Amino acid sequence: MSVRDVLPWVADALVVLALAVMTIGVYGLRRMPDVYTQLHATSKAVFLGVIAILVASMATLEPAVITRVALITVFLVLTTPVAAHAIALAAYRLREPMRTPGAIDESGRGLAGAARDEERRRRAAGVEPGWRVVVGYDGSEQANRALERVAMLAGEDAAITVVTAGAILPESPVAPDRAVVEEGEERQRVLEEGRARLAELGLRAEAVEAFGDPADALMDVAREIGADLIVVGTRGRTVTTRVLLGSVSAKIASQAPCDVLVVR
Amino acid sequence: MHTVVFYVAVLWMTVLLAASTLLVIRARSILSRILALDMLVLILVALLALLSDLLGVPYFLDAGLVLALLSFTATVAATRYHREGKVFS
């Protein structure tokens, strides 16, 4: 009884094990209630089955096979957890609820348990209390309307951040004048105006001054504070933004990390 | 590996492949679908490994490696797209 005699049986056993585990994995994907638990089925069960079959196919002891199998195995071992993590991260971002009874969501996003049920119940049109809202404000009429909309929709403890971005546009043939919102003081004044208006409408807000491209600045702030909603007007105040025809809101609407409200 | 086990395994893997294709189509949310697709490719890689051993040729494993690479890249790209709205920041 040499090693060569035993190997086929070992390979057999591995294959049978792999089949069983992969079947459990596929069935698990079907039966698991949410993405987070489905991840276990694929990145643990099915993955284990695949590795077992790969190892089993090494039983022929050919160097060509062994090198290839080793390569695939190393690659899968390194990347399967990363892929699973990417999916989990996206699930958090997209607010996928956790549907298993004992789940605990520590991120404060209300994805599990009582918080989740309550949030679902409060999903009337509008911004729920506890949501974080970022409003782009440049003093224009559009921006003021955006503020009014936020005031209409916001719950009492929504955390609102007003952002004014000074765009630093390169000199262009279309718009020879440079900044969208001009000097620092002017920007501060606009911000204070925004905050005052919100205060008039009965809401507290934080004011943030941001630099660079308005769309990117707004999205950066939103990402930083983990915002749930970005509110922008369609068009701006100065010549340049009017000429650009609402490119800020378009860019934000397509690339934002969260919901976007464009106020006309 | 004995021939009987081979054929049973290939047959059963094909059934699993069909099942996971169904799961991709009937996935409840977009992320479930991405996940099911990743699993589909994993099963495919295993199937290719089996066939490679059955037919005695090593190059099916090359195809398996490429599939694994593509699946990983696709999963990461798709999840980034759904998170941020674009793939490259």
Which CATH number covers residue A159? 3.40.50.620
Give the single-character DSSP code of A237.
S
Alpha helices in A94-183 (DSSP H): 113-121, 141-153
Out of A40-54, A78-92, A163-177, pick the least confident. A163-177
| Dihedral sign from CA coordinates of A177, A179, A183, A186 | positive
Residues of B in contact with A8 (CB under 8 A): 1-2
Neighbours of B82 (CB within 10 A): 16
- pLDDT at residue A13 tops 80: yes
Tally of domains in chain A = 2
Tell me if A115 is assigned to some domain: no
- Answer with the residue of higher pLDDT: A192 or A185: A192
Chain B residue with minimum CA distance to A40: B35
Tell how strand A159-166 and strand A259-263 pair up: unpaired
Question: Across the interface, which of B9, B39, B69 has its CB nearest the CB of A29?
Answer: B39
pLDDT of residue A201: 66
- Answer with the residue of higher pLDDT: A176 or A82: A82
Tell me if A99 is assigned to some domain: no
- pLDDT at residue A177 tops 50: no
What are A145's two structure tokens? Answer: 């309307």
Q: For residue A160, which of A199, A217, A214, A118 has the smallest C-alpha distance?
A: A199
Best residue in B8, B11, B16 for a mutation probing chain A (most A CBs within 10 Å): B16
B17-29 mean pLDDT = 92
My answer on whether A85 and A132 are in the same domain is: no
Hey, where are the domains in chain B? 3-84
Question: For the segment A109-168, what is each residue's pLDDT rounded down to a tens digit?
Answer: 667 776 666 666 655 445 555 677 888 877 777 777 877 787 777 766 667 777 766 443
- pLDDT at residue A241 tops 60: no
Q: What are phi and psi of A160, to 5 degrees?
A: -105, 135
